[in-house]
Amino acid sequence: MRTAASLVLGLLALLVSTTSGSPLSDERFAATLLPEHSLRFTEPQLCDPSVKQLSGYLDISDTKHLFFWFFESRNDPENAPLVLWLNGGPGCSSSTGLLMELGPCKVNEFGNDTIPHPHSWNTNANIIFLDSPANVGYSYSDSVLDAPTTTPATAVDVWTFLTLFISRFPKYASLPFHVAAESYGGHYAPHIAHTILEKRAEYPTLPEINLKSIVLANGLTEPLSQFEELPEWACESEWALWDTDSKECKDFRAMVPAMRQLTKACYASNSRVACVPAGFYAFGRMYGVIRQTGLNHYDVRRECEDTESGTCYPELRLIDAYLDRTDVKLALGALPDREFKGCNMEVNQKFHFQGDVMKNSARLVPDLLNAGIRVLAYVGNTDAVCNWMGVEKWMEKLESKFQVEFALTRRVPWFTKDSKLAGSVRAAGAGAGEYAFVKVHDAGHMAPYDQPEATLDLIQRWLADESLV
């Protein structure tokens, strides 16, 4: 992937020419090793007209065009942190985070407009919502062969995007930067952070991404521990689906040894051949047990309302309808003839067929901690897809500079600033924690959707490095 890196060399000698008279700015960046980068962006007035916005495409190579929608903070944007938000899938657009969970607006009940969101994370943060990798959401590639089908390749493209973004918009370059990623983003975020550190050493003259933390939001990061704990969560947790002595629990637990053997082989070789079978077993058979209940596997308090699409939330179809509107695409500088789909299942399948899904992304975390990058994992407790017990377990097991301190620490209640009990927190290190686990009460996979006030409290305090206890 050295070519992707070389694209941005020489970016400091930035050459910008803007097409005048068009609301859509079409710029070309001159770079030393590759002739130019294109940036086509506009300043939309949708969603949250109270703040400055940017949206459009940044071409991170000749063939790959990544769509972003950026919102300044509602308060003090000059000093507020910069956050990159990614949803998971793999293959899903950040539109879910933007229009259903934590963005400045939500899609309305008809899917033809938006309504303001008072608890948006842009209350105190500048946020980039990025459709990643290429071919997800509005992002696209001219050559299918070129588009990433693994997390490491995706991370390099995101790094290229970020480097170009802060080069073109330097007022955001010095702000503290955080990567927050949900679900499959539990794989993405550690890789993106690690890539940022690697590239900093490799290309010291490029503008530096001021990385401070990663936030794993109901993330899949270390599949072995997380699938080991799935039957425990389903049989022992406060949201258990079955009695612990039931046949269901006995059968579910009986799947663990096979999963463990396959996943250990995957971890040992980190190869496609070893990891694909582990993925089929865990995603097919073990998630299959949960799916068969007919419950919403993202939030077992609910039935799966939209079984047709398997996504369980009617909002997701409304988001697709909204972002597929021609007027919206034009307002955002997105390609009007590209059909918007929240999730690209071809991209999803490709990641599965690379064995990417079962690889161990937690192995990158110790390097991040050693480099002073803070790590937060929060998990809604009613989520079956990324159960909280599995996340706490991998964090306990991980051999890092915080292992002993984390082992000696117990979860303590987390009260929001207005004194509501919102969950519990277990943190090692200074401040809000340098290595922290948060269990969010009465929240599913999309915790900000279920608990907007509590998760805003959490993210504000994490970004400001203020303790939750």
Q: Of 112 and 246, which has the nearer Cβ to ligand NAG?
A: 112
User: Which residue's structure tokens are 């117990």?
Assistant: 410
Q: Which long-range contacts (CB under 8 A, 24 or more apart) does 97-101 make?
A: 97/129, 97/182, 97/448, 98/47, 98/69, 98/129, 99/315, 99/319, 99/322, 99/323, 100/313, 100/315, 100/316, 100/319, 100/446, 100/449, 101/182, 101/446, 101/447, 101/448, 101/449
Binding range to ligand NAG, per CB under 6 A, among 34-42, 87-95, 106-114, 345-353: 106-114
Binding mask 61-100 for ligand NAG (x = CB under 6 A): ----------------------------------------
Pairing of strands 435-440, 421-428: antiparallel
Query: Is there a contact between 77 and 51 (Cβ–Cβ < 8 Å)?
Result: yes
- C-alpha neighbours within 13 Å on the C-beta side of residue 88: 24
Candidate list 50, 79, 112, 261; residue touching ligand NAG; CB under 6 A: 112
CB of 112 to ligand NAG, least distance (A): 4
Would you call 260 helix, strand, or coil by DSSP?
A: helix
Q: Of 116 and 413, which has the nearer Cβ to ligand NAG?
A: 116
Q: Which of 402, 391, 387 lies closest to 437, judged by CA?
A: 391
Binding range to ligand NAG, per CB under 6 A, among 7-15, 80-88, 108-116, 444-452: 108-116
Q: Which of 113, 466, 183, 216 lies closest to 348, judged by CA?
A: 183
Instruction: Enumerate residues 6+ apart whose C-beta is below 8 A from 431.
Output: 374, 465, 466, 467
The residues that bridge with 41 in the sheet, in sequence order, are: 25, 56
CB of 340 to ligand NAG, least distance (A): 17
Q: Of 112 and 269, which has the nearer Cβ to ligand NAG?
A: 112
Binding range to ligand NAG, per CB under 6 A, among 39-47, 98-106, 107-115, 348-356: 107-115
CA 201 to chain centre: 25
- Residue 205 interacting with ligand NAG (CB under 6 A): no
CB of 336 to ligand NAG, least distance (A): 17
Q: Of 328 and 386, which has the nearer Cβ to ligand NAG?
A: 328
CB of 325 to ligand NAG, least distance (A): 9
Q: Which of 199, 209, 185, 201 lies closest to 4, judged by CA?
A: 199
CB of 110 to ligand NAG, least distance (A): 4
CB of 113 to ligand NAG, least distance (A): 4
Q: Of 9 and 330, which has the nearer Cβ to ligand NAG?
A: 330
Q: Of 327 and 346, which has the nearer Cβ to ligand NAG?
A: 327
Binding range to ligand NAG, per CB under 6 A, among 63-71, 109-117, 296-304, 351-359: 109-117
Q: Of 35 and 336, which has the nearer Cβ to ligand NAG?
A: 336
Q: Which amino acid is at 422?
A: A
- Residue 326 interacting with ligand NAG (CB under 6 A): no
Catalytically active residues are 183, 383, 445
Candidate list 13, 21, 45, 110; residue touching ligand NAG; CB under 6 A: 110
Binding-site residue total for ligand NAG (CB under 6 A)? 3
Q: Which amino acid is at 129?
A: F
User: DSSP letters of 59-114?
Assistant: ESSSSEEEEEEEE--SS-TTTS-EEEEE--TTTB-THHIIIIISSSEEE-TTSSSE
CB of 464 to ligand NAG, least distance (A): 37
- Residue 113 interacting with ligand NAG (CB under 6 A): yes
Chain residues binding ligand NAG by CB under 6 A are 110, 112-113
